[in-house]
Chains A and B, each alone.
Chain A
Amino acid sequence: MLDEQYNLVLQEHQVADLNEEQQGILEQGVQYLEDFYQALEENKTTDELFDILSQGLYDFSAYISSLYDYGTPSTRGQIRIILSIDFQKAFMNFIAGSVGALLGATGMFTTLVSMLVAATLPVAWIPVVGQAITIAVVALATFLAAYFWDKYVTSNMRFENMYWNVAKGLFVPNFDLWI
């Protein structure tokens, strides 16, 4: 059945024009589907099933949706899925951490820490110690903010975001080529 679906995709989207890399993406997507069906038959847990899906089905689906929306790669060879959903997740997690840093590293907090250590240290070193403690505390808060954001917000991102992926792919440089 999967082979039939794969061939249907090839016909509908003239994927014969795909280059080797793009062909590989499609085949990889089919492989993910096969792994998923296999896992279903083995009665894996929901978490395990989701892990399999998240390994690559998002990218695959986004790629297919781009073919639907923007034509064949041969005529629009420069149009690619640039930002995968994993990239969006990572970006949002990082921003969450950065916002945590911005909120935490205020001058008021630094001043408060400086005041707390003022009683025990020579005056000249108060700013150094105050800032060092502030940076350590804020760094800790940053990691925790990114972690909880990842756990409770971006983990709920689903397929509906893939069209946003495609739209952004038109305007953003191809990060895929950088790594």
Chain B
Amino acid sequence: MRKCLVSIFLVVFIVGGLASILLQSRRGHTLPSMLLQAVAMWGVISLIGMITNPPMTKKQTILLHSITLPLVLLIGLLMWFVLYA
């Protein structure tokens, strides 16, 4: 499960990040690019958190990421409104 999560987070970071960069380079700072950046950041932060912290149970892992993904998206949304809208 740990290897699977590492793969998922890496893919989310790379694909989300590249998509965010391409969007931003084409259209400037838009809400979709900010949300994609948020998803990419969620991937890399979760990855680092998973590596640097003691292992969690499956239940804890699911709970953690079901909280943090919406939370990070919300932060991305707020940042877009505050910084660019």
Contacts and interface: CB of A to CB of B under 8 A. Distances in A.
Q: Do A and B come from one complex?
A: yes
Interface of A: 84, 86-87, 89-91, 93-94, 97-98, 101-102, 104-107, 110-111, 124-125, 127-128, 130-132, 134-136, 138-140, 142-144, 146-147, 150, 175, 178-179
A101 B54 contact: no
Contacts of B75: 136, 139-140, 143
A101 B25 contact: no
B53 A131 contact: yes
Contact of B37 (A127, A128, A143): A143
Contacts, number: 112
A86 B25 contact: yes
Interface of B: 17, 20-22, 24-26, 29, 34, 37-38, 40-42, 44-46, 48-49, 52-54, 56, 60, 63-64, 67-68, 71-72, 75-76, 79, 83
Contacts of B46: 135
